[in-house]
Amino acid sequence: MLIGHDVIHGLHTVFPIPLAESCTWNPDLLERAARAAAIEASTVGIDWIFAPMIDIARDARWGRIAEGAGEDPCLGTAMALARVRGFQTDDLPVGHRIAACPKHYVGYGAAEAGRDYNSVELSERTLRDIYLPPFKAALAAGAGSVMSAFNEIAGVPGTCNTFLLRTVLRDEWGWNGVVVSDYNSIGELVQHGVAADLREAAKLSILAGVDLDMESGAYDQHLASLVRDGEVPVTLVDEAVRRVLQLKFSLGLFEHAEFDTTLAKNTLMAPEFQALALAVAQQSLVLLKNDEQVLPLTAGQQRIALIGPLANNRADLLGTWSMASQAYAVETVLHGLAQYDAQVIYEQGCSIEGDDLNLTAAVQAAEQADVVVLVVGESAAMSGEAHSRVYLGLPGSQPALFDALVATGKPLITVLMSGRPLVIPQIAQKSAALLVAWHGGIRAGQAVADVLFGAVNPSGKLTASFPRAEGQIPVFYAHKATGRPAEGAGTTQFFEPFRSTYLDESNAPLFAFGEGLSYSRFEYSDLAVLTPVVARDGVLQVTATVHNASNRAGAEVVQLYVRDLVGSVTRPVKELKGFQRITLAADEQQMVRFEIPVSELGFHGLDMQYRVEPGAFKVWIGPDSTDGLEGAFTVTA
């Protein structure tokens, strides 16, 4: 038997949601987290993990943005590789391996209007340059299977898309693993309107290249008769069966058909896994504002009003896709603050989504305190599959609670817990500090407390931009310039500059990809492009010095971006091509060196072939997508 399960961010030991995990920018750490999940899963009989989700997502309305690594294919590829390596580790205690299943192939994250299962319209170039690279890398790294997507692209659903499942996957990439449909996605070809009935849906899917039918019953009911009637060659069925058998053999299921069922007792929620969950949660927190260094707090010297519907909430900190977990295992923020012997006055204030509100008690608590820590955001049920949202502000009565606490005049530290970037311009403006904690898993409360009190120096960086308003969506850093860029004078027409801008809001996100503060202060200097002229088969070499100009150690994610200034097709204004997470002691400096193969600087040209075109490029090394030291280089033929 081949037993599959959705182990999205841990089984019993629940880690932060994948979007939060990606904010660590630490593939090695995420590989360890995936391995822990694989160990737990294997001890309860799971052989096949329906993860990682490696869809690129640039629309915060889409609930499943919580399950991936955000908006960028370079970072998304690094995280996909880490998770595949972790899931498919060789030395599981049960004696066999687990197969990863990257999903959803492909373009699912570009659903129109951010509405789950919706149609997708992508050019083939965008598909190849943005959405396919994480899949190509994950499958080349040995992922045993891949899951077809619910969505259509240009009128053809992913589950019967011969171009994607045969031309790209089999012919171009030469991959021979198992393709499984998503849940009932073969049956849903009838609803899509490309199949008249379940029998025709089965035919379309097997001909396109889907080996396994998850849940619809189409193959079970109709595949044999399709072969008997000559509508499906038996050779296609043989190929599908062979791939499934090869997967089972590669996992060792025949050699280890039985395993020790007592292993789970000493494996699930093991202390080392809980410690790892804490480390991931700590590194996933993103500090976006810290006016006048209101953080870190001082234990024992400040009275803290802890307020909000997520301040002492266990279940919602687990986030989406945490079906096997137990809420009793979750540490809340109230629990975490208690570890610091803090003087805490706690009030819930309101629920997450309801209209109930107890302003009197919340304001009284704030007035008795020196500082207010407000923990607000979304419930676990507000993100994930089939949980798209149009309005991305705080739900329910939480905005009224926030306004009342701002009116007290006490320093207000907002801790935001969610499954997606939210639209929070007033919170960003009026909070003294803003800490994005996402849905952080079983150790979320301790991780938040550790950062609030400075036991841990925050180091997380955003992997998905925060919009200023829903009307900006999709908003992402790697956009095109257009013929009338927002920056500069634009084109003068009727004596006015006509540019690609809004009348009533900035183009820029509220917080951009790569942003995140630290209690340390990092300064960048001495950018050097060591290869100002480099051949297409060469390696771009760039260095810069990063100095920790503060009195405490900290970690910094150093990011390298490039721009191809002139191409046969238009290019993004910036593209992430490398990153390094470094740790510097107080007053320490380090020269950071990037070596980027020039072959990674290409794109699919007019003929849809991948190439690197000669010409001029810009390069930046800096702390995020909006800032950095700038240099230049030229690629020659």
Cite the active site residues. Answer: 182
Instruction: Give the gyration radius of the chain's Cα atoms.
Output: 25
Nearest to 295 by CA among 444, 414, 426, 446: 414
Q: Sheet harboring 627-636: ordered strands across?
A: 533-535, 627-636, 615-624, 554-564, 575-584
Task: For residue 51, give the amino acid letter.
Answer: A
Beta bridge partners of 517: 287
Sign of the torsion formed by the C-alpha atoms of 335, 338, 339 and 343: positive
What is the residue-wise DSSP string for 148-211? B-SSEETTEEGGG-HIIIIIIIIIIT---SEEE--TTTTTTHHHHTS-SSHHHHHHHHHHHT--
Residues 6+ apart with CB under 8 A from 291: 432, 433
Q: How many CB atoms lie within 10 A of CB 378?
A: 29
3-state secondary structure of 614: coil
Q: What is the Cα–Cα distance from 169 to 157, expressed in whole angstroms?
A: 15
Cβ contact 600:77 at 8 Å: no
DSSP code of 128?
I
Cβ contact 316:439 at 8 Å: yes
Task: For residue 143, give the amino acid letter.
Answer: A
Nearest to 573 by CA among 528, 505, 508, 491: 508
DSSP code of 511?
B
Sign of the torsion formed by the C-alpha atoms of 380, 381, 385 and 390: negative
Q: Which two tokens stand for residue 134?
A: 């994480």
E strands, 229-334, where?
286-290, 303-307
Q: Sheet harboring 99-100: ordered strands across?
A: 4-5, 48-49, 99-100
E strands, 565-626, where?
575-584, 589-597, 603-604, 610-611, 615-624
Residues 6+ apart with CB under 8 A from 609: none
Nearest to 102 by CA among 50, 152, 56: 50
Token pair 């010297």: residue: 301
End-to-end CA distance of the chain: 53
Q: What is the Cα–Cα distance from 197 to 187, expressed in whole angstroms?
A: 8
3-state secondary structure of 67: helix
What's the 3-state SS for 108-121?
HHHCHHHCCCCCEC
Burial of 547 by CB count in 10 Å (0-12 exposed, 13-18 middle, 19+ buried)? middle
Q: What is the Cα–Cα distance from 41 to 47, expressed in whole angstroms?
A: 8
For the chain, counts of helices (H) and of strands (E): 17, 25
What is the Cα 267 distance to its own chain's centre? Answer: 27
Task: For residue 505, give the amino acid letter.
Answer: E
Nearest to 303 by CA among 361, 342, 347: 342
